[in-house]
Amino acid sequence: MKVTYTEEQRKHAIKTFKRLKSYSKTIRVIGYPSLHTLYDWVGKRSRKSPTSNPHRTPKHYPWTLKLEAVNRSIQGEDIRDIAQDLSIVSYPSIYKWIRLWRVKGVRGLMTKQERISEGVYKTKAQLKQALPDDVDELKDLAAKLLAEKAVLEEELKLSKKLPGGIPEKLSAKHKTQIANNLRNRLPLALLFEVLDLKPSSYYYALWASKQPDKYEEIRPLIHEISQMSSQTYGSPRIWIALRQRGVFISEKVVRRLMKEEHIKVYYATRRKKFTSYIGEITPAAKDCVQRNFHAKRPNTLWLTDISEFAAPDSKIYLSPMIDCFDGKVVSWQTSKHPDYQLVESMLNRALNTLTDQEKRNIKSKDNPHTLTIHTDRGGHYRGGRWIETLNGKGIIRSMSRKGNSGDNAACEGFFGRMKAEMYYGRKWSSSKELEQAINDYLDFYNNQRIKVSLGGITIKRHREMLAKMYRK
């Protein structure tokens, strides 16, 4: 079946690609579309992909392209992604360029003609001949080289002090710091030239460094909020949390302070999802949801599924029940075994959260706000005990189509957010520690986690406000 995308999805994909500069990374981050579709959207693909016709390959690549590929590889990018982005037909060529660069430097990436045109000198005599004959000009060159050497040494010292290492592009603040350290040894005018720093920027940054920090009390709060969320809050949620504490600054300032404090938001790559599908053991229920995961009232549409979490000694399986009204996790159960006992315990806990009146309304045939529980086609939800329990309570069963994870996308999205925020990329010493972390996160999710879709409040606060409104 052909997948269609909205104009907003296309624009978002193109915007993400421009930021990441990689087709494969873009698809991994946003989850769509196919590689060929993204080529079409970006406008860098004709009828065939850049690597489909080897006869279009030039006899050699320019040394600048080779150097770019080498630098991107050293920074940790995938070789195949680099070859795809730079239209390099044979990606193993990049490994050869890396070896040449490590042995001979940039010169090893050049052809003979390129070395001549770029002024690369093989011998000491050739280098001497290229130097200016005028003494004053030679002295100017020596002075500039001396200043560049001193600046590079200061940059190295600065990189050891910064938590994230020296940035790709120095800010005016860092340039001012370097110039101020060297002003007693070298003329400021020469330092401004080497650092590409305007005198006005230097004196302003120097003046600003002597002023009291008006955000001195806010910086620890940002650290505290970030640690409270296990480094999962970005600037929007931290901005909301600050406003709730009576601190009113713009999100732009929050973003800048996070950058200055080297506060990183935790992201990680998803892994393969656990599946409980064991075949069509009983007739499947009708899909009553049709991918409409919105509920006007609490306890009218619930979703559930099972997800797997791996620890060194064993795996932990989580079965939650999620209310589509506001995303609240009504109940959950963890176990080392993905058996029916896992989902049965979770279901009983969820049903116990209902009031007597809500239970009577569910059983009533005239009630327009009955409860629907939507699941995938896993074996846990096809057994007789599950079906008997739901039918006995008057609950409507709903199931996704076979092989269509999008039919239960809201539950899949919950697992994705949860694992990205507390699981992926982290190490656990034992399954007990992991199980405790899962329980802590779900408690945090229901009671403390800011939800932007609810207007920047927590699910707990949203339910409290709803209860007050019903009482009135």
What is the pLDDT at residue 166? 55
Tell me which long-range contacts 333-340 makes (C-beta under 8 A, separation of at least 24): 334/435, 334/438, 334/439, 336/431, 338/274, 338/276, 338/306, 338/308, 338/380, 340/380, 340/383, 340/385, 340/386
In this structure, whether the domain defined by 301-421 belongs to CATH 3.30.420.10 is answered with yes
In 36-56, which positions are buried (b, 16+ CB within 10 angstroms) versus exposed (e)?
A: ebbbebeeebeeeebeeeeee
CB 334 within 8 A of CB 317: yes
With a cut of 50, list the residues of the chain below it in pLDDT.
45-58, 277-278
CA dihedral (25, 28, 30, 36) in degrees, to 10, reads: 80
pLDDT at 271: 53
Pairwise CA distance, residues 36 & 49, whole Å: 7
d(C-alpha 301, C-alpha 303), whole Å: 7
Q: What angle do CA 365, 369, 371 make, to 5 degrees?
A: 85
pLDDT score recorded for residue 261: 81
**Which 3 state secondary structure label does DSSP give 315?**
strand
Please enumerate in sequence order all residues whose Cβ is within 8 A of that of 420, keeping only pairs 6 or more positions apart, or say none.
Answer: 232, 266, 267, 268, 270
Spatial separation of the C-alpha atoms in residues 420 and 412, rounded to whole Å: 12
In whole angstroms, give the CA distance from residue 163 to residue 261: 9
Coil, helix or strand for 316?
strand
Q: How far apart are the first and last CA of the chain?
A: 50
Reduce the DSSP state of residue 40 to 3 states and report it: helix
Q: Are 38 and 81 in contact (CB under 8 A)?
A: no
Per-residue pLDDT at 318: 92
Between the alpha carbon of residue 51 and those of residues 26, 45, 87, 153, 319, the distances in Å are 19, 10, 6, 43, 45
Are 57 and 86 contacting, i.e. CB atoms less than 8 angstroms apart? no
CA distance 96 to 12: 36
Using alpha carbons, select from 107, 88, 191, 117 the residue that is nearest to residue 148: 191
Look up residue 145 and give its amino acid: L
The residue extents of the domains of the chain are 7-124, 132-209, 218-260, 301-421
Using DSSP, state whether 162 is helix, strand or coil.
coil
> Rounded to an integer, what distance in angstroms lies between the CA atom of residue 90 and that of residue 80?
9
Angle at alpha carbon of residue 92, lines to 89 and 96, rounded to 5°: 120
Where does residue 354 rank: exposed (0-12), middle (13-18), buried (19+ CB within 10 A)? middle
Task: Evaluate the CA torsion angle 36, 42, 48, 49 in order and state its sign.
Answer: negative
413 contacts: CB under 8 Å, gap ≥ 6: none
CA angle at 287 for the pair 281 and 289, rounded to the nearest 5°: 145
The SS3 assignment for 471 reads helix
Query: What whole-number distance in Å separates Cα of residue 135 and Cα of residue 132?
Result: 8
Q: How far apart are CA 299 and CA 356, in angstroms?
A: 13
Of 367, 368, 366, 359, nearest to 393 by C-alpha is 359
Token pair listed for 71: 């630098």
pLDDT at 116: 60
Q: Which residue has the tokens 């339910």?
A: 463
Phi, psi torsion values for 453, nearest 5 degrees:
-65, -20
**Angle, vertex CA 135, rays to CA 130 and CA 138, nearest 5:** 50
Residues in the chain: 472
Structure tokens that stand for 261 in this block: 């404090």
Predicted local distance difference test score (pLDDT) of residue 10: 86
Cβ atoms of residues 399 and 375 within 8 Å:
yes
Contacts of 441 (CB under 8 A, 6+ apart): 230, 418, 421, 422
Nearest in space to 223 (alpha carbons), one of 214, 233, 211:
233
